[in-house]
Amino acid sequence: MKEILGKMASGVNKSIATAGVNSKALMEKTKINSKIKSLEAERSELAETLGMQIYECIICDKEIDVDAGTMSLVNEIKRCLDSIDDYKIELEKVEEEADLAKSKISQKE
């Protein structure tokens, strides 16, 4: 009987620990995904502004002038894209860490 109760307690403890790991990972992933969405919206706005500048040059039959303002937009878009890539890598790390923690929990006897 003690053995059965011990196994049940161990199973409950593992379940609780796994739920904690899943919860923590979910919170981290939600934060990261929120940052990614924000950066994607910023990138979209910057790209729209850049596109409008180019469109106006074409419509007015002006030469497209790549001045400091235009390069600033391009650099900001690149910064957003680089940051998104960094957050995606961070997201993968959170998932890997959660999987590793769950693996360790399931191996405990």
Distance CA 28, CA 97 (A): 11
pLDDT, one tens digit per residue, over 26-60 is: 999 999 999 999 999 999 999 999 999 999 988 98
Largest CA distance in the chain: 88
Which CB contacts under 8 angstroms, 24+ apart, belong to 23-31? 24/98, 25/94, 25/95, 25/97, 25/98, 28/94, 29/91, 29/94, 29/95
Global pTM value: 0.79
Q: Which of 96, 108, 94 is nearest to 7 (CA)?
A: 108
Amino acid 2: pLDDT: 66
